[in-house]
Structure 1
Amino acid sequence: MLNFKKMKYSKYVSIFFLMFSLQSCSDFLEQEPGTQTSIDELLQNKTGVLQALTGLYTEIEANVRPDRYAAYADLQGGNIKFAPAATGGLRGQISPAINLQQVYSFEDVALTSNFKSFYDSSYDIINQANLILEFTPALTDATEAEKNQIKAEALAIRAYAHFLLSLVYSQDYKYTPDASHLGIIYSTESIKSGIQYPERKTAAETYRLIIDDLKTAIDSYSDSSLLSGPAYSFFNKKNTKALLARVYLQKGDWANAYEMANDVITNSGVVLTSKETLIAEWEKPNLPVSEILLEFSIPKDTEGNVSSSMTQTYGYTSDTNFEKYTASNDLVDLYESTDLRKQLFLTKSLYTIVSGVQTYLSYNFTKKFQNNAGYVASRLSEMYLIRAEAALETNRADLAMADINIIRARANASLLTNTNNLKENIFLERRKELCFEGFLFFDIARMHKDVSRNDGCIATVCSLTYPSLKYVLPIPTFNTNLNPNLQQNDSY
């Protein structure tokens, strides 16, 4: 890593963000003009640090909930197609969402990347987490247990942001035999001590650092968060273990993936939503399903009104008021007729123009994200599917089949009776169970499968053959210009 001459640390936040050269703003630091609070002043006591940590969760939610990230993996993988325009002069016309238009056709451009705000906001979040980590040890009005809890949450946030960046900007872990291909920049220091120009780590180093942060966090947690709000809205020991299980799965560390997923299933105190309440749990307004491990709280105004939610990506209100993203038949046709999860689609006949002809076509809106739904970051079903895949990869096919059948039985789907083709069955079960929760494209890459999008695909490129340089996005040109050591992904 090359460090250039350090720049003088600015006292005021307005200058701090000018130095960082990010377009996003830090809610917990930036206030009205003329009333800026210095970082030193804000983070000198427990109240200020907790205010910072609260704001950091708000920024995470604002980064992952909009369609730019929330719909990405399902759109690229083929779970999603676009609804026609609901009103106006373009009513009935079908076109890609503007936020993902280049990405959708695997034609994102570094100079005008659809994901620039995601990249910038992710490193903004990481920098804020590092500030909290740097100031917390010196707090004089917090106990060691309280400081450890703050540290644990900040480390989990830092690891989570880096992990999401690695999924989007780095090829899957086994793209090279020793994971020596490019990972991402892993930032463990804030820029208050000076601007640095780091190089990207290898994928192996990136994952090692993510895992180290998560394991340190797990060892540091106290009994509960110091923040006000539902426990599932914050990182804690059980959902950090769930994230670690996911990281191990993505890495292909099967023994540790099994152990960590099994730990969450066995010891978290969370149980699967029952067959009898599965549909009702997803349909209820405002609250997450009972098996939630982590859902970032949706923003509300002072009167408790929701200002934004996942409904803005997948919502349906009426035939003239609905959002852009609907389920493809590629996905819907995977469910058996008896599968309860097929009831989680709201089927509507909508006015559509096809080749200049006016007609009505059926579209399937997911019920998972209606009624002010929040962003589902982690739930227990995923742990069963991780444990199943890890069991299969460690020569315990019977255990793998048993876990898949737990999920299938809950959904009233037919049970597997043998272990033939179990790896493909696990892939398909993940696709059905975790649809619209941000997994499919990353599963396709991780399993070295090809992308095949059929129903409703209006991209210029509807399929990719693995391996492909287009399985990752370009790092925005603004950032590669800012950091001369930041290497661009091949083909961009």
Structure 2
Amino acid sequence: MMIKKNIIQLFILCFLFVGCDKFLDKEPQNKVSIDEIFSDLAGAKAALTGVYVAMWETENGPKMIYPEAVGGNVKPLYITLQKYLDVYTFTTAADTSSMAAVYEETYEMLNNLNNIIKRVPELTDGLQTERNDILAQAYGLRALMHLNLVQLFAQPYSYTADASHLGIVLATEPILIADAQRKRATVAEVYTQIASDLKQSADLFTERKAVFTGSNSIYMSSSAIKALQARVSMLKGEWADAYDYSEAVIASNYSLYSSSEYVASWTSAASKETIFEIAVVSPFAGTSLGNYYTNETANTTYQFAPSNDLLEIFQEGDIRASGGAFKYPTYGTAATSVKLIRLSEMYLIRAEAAAELGRSEQALADLNVIRKRANPESENWTNSDKTALIDEILDERRRELCLEGFWFFDLMRRGISLVRSDCEGNNCNINYPSDKFVLPIPLQSVTSNSNMEQNPGY
């Protein structure tokens, strides 16, 4: 038991400090360690915990900052603080990209999730419903990892009529050194895999016994799966499904904060409006999202501030009028959880889907719920013209979801050119479509994999 305990501790520490590709995906030297970890339910729980810990590293920084910086919601302030400046100016290169770590770390997490999915069904201890819970979360997280990668490193679903353009390498089983020469799947194939994993997760969640204690919002859940299904359907332009999935989440056990509660809610975890969030790793004293956005003398990481492009779309009296900078007002040891799915997103997905489906009354109702929460004194939006209504819903998404990693992807899926008026330097404005709208595959991944195709333009 002491050996097993030490291995599990090493497993969790590897996520925090050295990268789990050094621990879980190499054979044969680590095979005994992997077998030992997955010899019982406790080991499987530790493995899944490790994935959540690892997610903090990507979601708590570059994955969230990238769409806000390149989309023009924020702007860099200090020439001496230049992290992610290469992506802001669209001058990133395959060998020096500041987003390369996101690519590498996400595939590490996928490899570990695949070990869980492969080995948990072989366990004999515990209840079947407990094993189902672990698998349900693993399938859901695997879908989310693939979605993150395909949004960052491939053109949007609508880029070609049948989504047959280059996607990413699918990781649906542990990738070993001897079998690492994988081709990129098409975007259509990636989304098919995401949908399959989400369905598998949803089916497993119907009969489960929770293996973790604490707030449900810090783990993948059946509601989070429905929310991701709504998001994926929106990204594909499958509006009937986007409507149905978002409606199912809205009807579940979540509620919007009031106008007076909203700002303070960002300083707390496990809020009533949050469907899925990544909890702060404990103990923690590193760089958090707040480090990039909080203007305090003691914060030496502070780099980005809301752009005038963003600030100008808020009406007077809007509680979000600071441009969303209040969302992560603390940093370091006071860092707060990173919110990945909130109820307000579901209202806006249903609004957009309703507008596309010709259900303007529902679209207006959902849009105004979010508008009025932000400013109870504001007038309802009443223009039901489809184009005007969708444009306003997109603006409301920008206001409500700023600093949450959506805006640039909204531009891409809608085929909208990038215009950044409050911008200095290279490539402030870029017409859609453009090779620059996707990140380069890290050079190491290209040179080590003879089947890997680099994105055009890099």
Between the aligned partners of 1:383 and 1:224, the Cα distance in structure 2 is: 26
3-state SS, counterpart of residue 330 of structure 1: helix
| Shift of residue 193, structure 1, vs aligned partner | 9.1
Q: Does 1:444 align with 2:436?
A: no
Between the aligned partners of 1:414 and 1:335, the Cα distance in structure 2 is: 13
Q: Does 1:190 align with 2:177?
A: no
Distance 1:438 1:239, change over 3 A: same
Aligned residue pairs, count: 433
3-state SS, counterpart of residue 260 of structure 2: coil
3-state SS, counterpart of residue 377 of structure 1: strand
Between the aligned partners of 1:313 and 1:37, the Cα distance in structure 2 is: 42
Between the aligned partners of 2:300 and 2:43, the Cα distance in structure 1 is: 42
Partner of 2:223: 238
TM score, norm. by length of structure 2: 0.89
Correspondence for 1:396 among 359, 364, 380? 359
Alignment check: 8 A CA contact 2:58 2:102 kept: yes
Partner of 1:360: none
Alignment check: 8 A CA contact 1:166 1:184 kept: yes
Distance 1:246 1:478, change over 3 A: same
Distance 1:235 1:464, change over 3 A: same
Partner of 1:454: 421
Partner of 1:353: none
Q: Does 1:292 align with 2:255?
A: no
| Shift of residue 241, structure 1, vs aligned partner | 1.0
Partner of 2:340: 377
Partner of 1:57: 52
Between the aligned partners of 2:359 and 2:259, the Cα distance in structure 1 is: 26
Partner of 1:107: 91
Which structure features the higher share of helix residues? 2
| Shift of residue 392, structure 1, vs aligned partner | 1.0
**What runs of 5+ residues in structure 2 fail to find an aligned partner?**
1-6, 12-17
Q: Does 1:473 align with 2:436?
A: no
Q: Does 1:432 align with 2:411?
A: no
Q: Does 1:490 align with 2:453?
A: no
Percent of aligned positions that are identical:
36
Alignment check: 8 A CA contact 2:324 2:403 kept: no
Correspondence for 1:143 among 103, 118, 127? 127
Between the aligned partners of 1:306 and 1:327, the Cα distance in structure 2 is: 25
Between the aligned partners of 1:106 and 1:378, the Cα distance in structure 2 is: 27
Superposed, 1:5-404 pairs within 5 Å as 24-25=19-20, 38-66=33-61, 68-84=62-78, 94=79, 97-98=82-83, 100-192=84-176, 194-221=178-205, 222-223=207-208, 225-267=210-252, 269-282=253-266, 284=267, 286-301=268-283, 306-318=285-297, 323-342=302-321, 345=322, 366-371=325-330, 372-404=335-367
| Shift of residue 194, structure 1, vs aligned partner | 4.5
The structure with the larger Rg is 1
Alignment check: 8 A CA contact 1:315 1:365 kept: no
Between the aligned partners of 2:187 and 2:276, the Cα distance in structure 1 is: 26
Alignment check: 8 A CA contact 2:292 2:301 kept: no
Distance 1:95 1:77, change over 3 A: farther
What whole-Å deviation, never above 9, does each CA across 1:318-360 have from its counterpart, x for those lacking one?
4876611110111111111021222xx2xxxxxxxxxxxxxxx
TM score, norm. by length of structure 1: 0.83
| Shift of residue 311, structure 1, vs aligned partner | 1.7
| Shift of residue 277, structure 1, vs aligned partner | 1.4
Which structure features the higher share of strand residues? 1
| Shift of residue 461, structure 1, vs aligned partner | 1.1
Counterpart residue type for residue 302 of structure 2: E
Distance 1:225 1:25, change over 3 A: same
**What runs of 5+ residues in structure 1 fail to find an aligned partner?**
1-11, 17-22, 85-93, 346-363
Between the aligned partners of 2:22 and 2:53, the Cα distance in structure 1 is: 8
3-state SS, counterpart of residue 178 of structure 1: coil
| Shift of residue 290, structure 1, vs aligned partner | 2.7
Moved more, 271-280 or 436-445: 271-280
Partner of 1:358: none
Correspondence for 1:406 among 362, 369, 378? 369
Between the aligned partners of 1:462 and 1:256, the Cα distance in structure 2 is: 35
What whole-Å deviation, never above 9, does each CA across 1:280-338 have from its counterpart, x for those lacking one?
323x3x4254301111111122xxx6545322222233487661111011111111102
